[in-house]
Amino acid sequence: MKSIFTLILSAFLITACAQSNPQDNMTVGELNTVNFRGDDSKVVLDVRTAQEFSEGRIAGSENLDVLKTDLFTTSIQKLDKEKTYYVICRSGSRSQKALNQMKEAGFKHIINVTGGMQAWEAAKLPIEK
């Protein structure tokens, strides 16, 4: 009985720690109001595959595929941790994974764009190809 309780408590704590804070999230509508073009302190980081990125992206965004785990981990170490990163993927799942990895790597200013590119496209916001 005690071990089951410990297991349930551990699972709860792991899940709670893995979730982002509400202030770590932003809608695509909110992102669209951020003036990141021409501002080197703000970066839209698209963590989809290169193929997905080539099919349509937010103008000025940078691509770093979170599914290429070793490359992603190595590449984020080269990024400026003082910048603000708006992390987006297709639907919001991979960007949350990337945000968690970036937090572990010491980044302080990271925002998950909820709904991802699916929400961006549904809102009929501009896409660059």
Which pLDDT belongs to residue 36?
82
Residue 100: its pLDDT value, please? 95
Tell me phi and psi for residue 105, to 5 degrees. -85, 0
**Residue 35 φ then ψ, to 5°:** -90, 85
How far is residue 18's CA from residue 30's CA, in Å, rounded to a whole number?
23
What is the average pLDDT score of the chain? 87
The pLDDT confidence band at residue 104, using thresholds 50, 70 and 90, is very high
| pLDDT, tens digit, 9 for 90 and up, residues 46-69 | 999 999 999 999 999 999 999 999
Q: CA torsion 67→70→74→76, rounded to 10°?
A: 20
- The separation between the first and the last C-alpha atoms of the chain, rounded to the nearest angstrom, is 57
On the question of pLDDT at 81 being above 50, the answer is yes
Question: What's the half-sphere exposure (Cβ side, CA atoms, 13 Å) at 14?
Answer: 6
Residue 66's closest CA among 18, 100, 17?
100
pTM: 0.82
CA distance linking residue 3 with residue 69, whole number of Å: 33
Asked whether the predicted pLDDT for residue 41 surpasses 90, the reply is yes
For residue 52, the SS3 value is helix
Position 19 scores a pLDDT of 47
